[in-house]
Every structure is written in structure tokens, then in C-alpha cells.
Amino acid sequence: MAENEDIDYSLSRVPDEAKQPFWRVLFIRIGAICCVSQLMLGAALGYGMSFFDAFLATMLGSVLLQVVSWALGTAAAHEGLSTSLLSRWAGFGKGGSAVFGGVVAISMVGWFGVQNSVFGQGMSSIVPFTDFLGGFEYPLWAILTGIGITLLVVFGIKAIANFATVFVPLFVIVVLFAAWVILQDHTIGELVSMAPPGVPLTLGAATTMVAGGFIAGAICTPDYARFLKNGNQVFWMTLIGTFVGELGMNLLAVMLAHATGTENVVDLMMATSGIVGVIIVVASTVKLNDINLYSSSLGLATMLNALFNKKVNRNALVWALGIVGTFLSVIGIINYFTEFLVLLGVAIPPVAGIMVIDYFVLRRKRADLDASRAEGKLPSKVEKWNPVAIICWVAGFAVGEITSVFGIGIPGLNSLVLAGVLYWVIMKVYASIKKVDTVQFAETDQVL
């Protein structure tokens, strides 16, 4: 295998010598949450909800994210496998991992387009070229920023961590400064009791937005958590990242929206920190967008390998996806931001429910994983398909969509729990009927 193809172990375990210090991965995690889109989400909550309702929605969504991230991240740290590759031995089999890898690739490259749109819009407002480009400045910046992020991801997880180490502290400092400037004329009591300035937002919809805003990222936590040494490190990474990024950023943005009566984050930052602040805030988008592109490339690598039984050059995938994501940002995918959040909040969680049940509860492939891990290799066999997992995934998504339409509970949580419980029940009943301890489907020795 070529060196540039194996730089981030897209189709193999991360060896012990390649594990990273805790703080490096923590900065990636915080950077994936502390970003412009998180402020946009928090401002959207504050625009349509009271402070305490927004707090409740954020807590409910954050708890869901932390549990999912911790569980999958712990499995990844233990096995050294990316999300999509882990799914082969955590419920979905080789064929299922192809479907899941494709979904991850599409979802994350979509997020890449959303974030690159924010980045491009911010840069075009800071350094406009209207005098000689005639309104073409946004597409130009979107293209430049998209290609720039793609180049960063080509250099792998260490480059991503180094970038996050610089821009995470800068982002937090600017956000705190902006909050201080805007809120200094308001008392805390006034802000927390203030009525929302916009159209009311329901708790279910808001919680789904919170969960949906990072649920794809939560499920892709293994893509960088696999570089940690153990589950304890994963726990602290998810706890600190969730409370600093999710809860902290959301509630600050809620108060900012209440104080200004707007949900436009870029305007908020321009009004307080000036151009320097906006440059840092916009640049901070990179530390999330590089992870989007990174996870998308890993998902696509898994899908193509499962379909064609060949290893594909990771850098080629990064470039291809980066170009696609940049194109999506140029054509204006940012206009569908909220709808995209709600869709992800229902479509992605069922996968996590199934993987957690299979890996931690049923433990169907744990013996194979343990034996091969001792040798630093992948298991010698893998299931071709697990039809039960696919059925439960579809059922979970359907229930999430139905409950979303009728406003029943929290759709993202509904879909995750339903898929996991249904998978557990069917597999146990199936095992009982077949009079076996665990159900196993047809396997192949063509693991890669």
C-alpha cells in the first residue's frame, strides 16, 4: 500500500504507536462543535424560544449526543477502527457497511457544503471584490476556501489537530469578547426572562435541531476517537467537548439573539469584534469542515472497498469529495440549513442504536475482534449482509419521520431507541427460534 494511502488507516486498525495525545484529539472534538454553525443553531433557538426552554432543548440534545459519542468512540478506541469500518463487525456486515459508508459520505460532504458556504460568505463580506468581479466574489471565495480545506485534509489527522489547536482558543476568545460587548448593557435576569423575538419554536423541533446539528458528527466520533488509547479518554473528550461546545456556545448565542433580536451570527460578530473577529470566526469553520471532509472520505473508502474489493487512494477520494462539496456550497446549499439538520436528526441515529446494541450487548463479533486485535489485524471473516440491521435502520428512520410529522416526542431519540431495541428483540427472538446463542449470517473471507 502506498504511504499516502495508509496515512490515516482508512481500511486498517490504528496501531498503538500511531495513537495521539489526549489533548490533540480533544482540540479536534471541541473544534468540531465550537463553530459558526453552532452559533447559528443557538441563535435560532434563542430567536424562537425562552432561555430556559432553549437550555432544556440543548441539554436533551446534548445528552443524546454524549451517550452516542461515548459509546461508539469507546468501541473505536478499543478496536482502532473508523465508524464505517467498525460497522462491518458491529451489526451491518460488509454489504451494510457499504450502504452506511455511502450515507456517511453523502451526509458529511453535505455538511462540508453548508460550512463552506458560511466560510465563503464570511470571506466575501470581509474582503469583497465587487469593484472588478461584479458580484462573483462569493463563488470565488467558496471555491478558494473549499480547495484550501481539501488540501489540509490531504495531510491527515495530525494536520487537522494542529489547525484546531490554533483556532479553537482564538474562536472561544472572540466569542466571549463579542458576548461581553453585546450583553454588557443587559442584566442576566433580563436576558433569561426575555420573550423570544421570533416565531415560537417547539421543544421537540428544537431538541431535534440540537441533536441533528451534530448527530452525524457524533456517529463519526470513531473517525478520530480511534486515535485515543482507551474509553476513559473518550469519556472525558465527549464530556468536555459537549459542555464547552454544545451547551456553552448555544446558551451564549441564545442570549445574543435575545439581546439583539436577530439570529444572524455573522452580523452579531461584525457588530462586536469587527473584521478581525469575523476573520477568526470564519476561519474557525475550517476546524469543523476538515472533519466533515475527513469522515466523508473514510465512509466513501469503506463503501468502495465493500463494493469492488479494492483499496482506493484516500487522497484521491478527499480531492473528489472536496470538489463535490465545494460545488454544493457554490450553488447555495446553505439555504436548506434547518431542513438538513432536521433530516439528519432522524435519519442517522438508528445506525448508532444498532451498532451499540450489536457491539456492547449482543457482542456477536467481539471474539473475532479480540483475537485479531492482538495481532494488529482485521478479523479473517466478515458477514456479507445482516438483513435484520438494514430492516431496523429503515424502521427507525420511518418511525422518526412519522413522529416528527405528528410532533410526538423527540424524533431523533425516537429513531435511535426504536432501531436499537427492535434490533435487540428481533435478534434474540431469531436466536431462540434457531436455538443458538447468537445469530450469525453468511460470511466471506474477503474482508477487504
Q: Within 13 Å, how many C-alpha atoms sit on residue 337's CB side?
A: 17
Q: Which residues contact 350 (CB under 8 A, 6 or more apart)?
A: 392, 393, 395, 396, 397, 400, 415, 416, 418, 419, 420
Tell me the average confidence (pLDDT) per consecutive run of 10 residues in the chain, 448 residues long: 58 91 91 80 90 89 82 94 93 92 84 81 67 68 88 87 85 82 83 85 81 74 93 92 83 87 71 69 75 90 90 88 89 67 73 94 94 90 94 93 78 85 96 92 90
Which pLDDT score, from 0 to 100, does residue 247 have? 85
Q: Which long-range contacts (CB under 8 A, 24 or more apart) does 139-148 make?
A: 139/330, 142/116, 142/117, 142/326, 142/329, 142/330, 143/326, 143/330, 145/116, 145/119, 145/120, 145/286, 146/112, 146/116, 146/120, 146/322, 146/323, 146/325, 146/326, 146/329, 147/322, 147/326, 148/286
Which pLDDT score, from 0 to 100, does residue 19 have? 92
The SS3 call for residue 444 is strand
Alpha helices in 220-308 (DSSP H): 222-225, 231-241, 249-260, 265-308
Q: Do 21 and 227 meet the contact criterion of CB atoms below 8 Å apart?
A: no
Domain boundaries, the chain: 15-338
Q: Within 13 Å, how many C-alpha atoms sit on residue 214's CB side?
A: 38
Buried b (16+ CB within 10 A) or exposed e, 276-311: ebbbbbbbbbbbbbbbbbbbbbbbbbbbbbbeeeeb
Phi, psi of 383 (to 5 degrees): -65, 145
Q: Give 101: exposed, middle or buried? Use CB within 10 Å, 0-12, 13-18, 19+.
A: buried
Which pLDDT score, from 0 to 100, does residue 436 have? 92
> H/E element holding 443?
strand 443-444
CATH of 15-338, one of 3.30.950.10, 3.50.50.60, 1.10.150.130, 1.10.4160.10: 1.10.4160.10
Distance from C-alpha of 178 to C-alpha of 172, rounded to nearest angstrom: 10
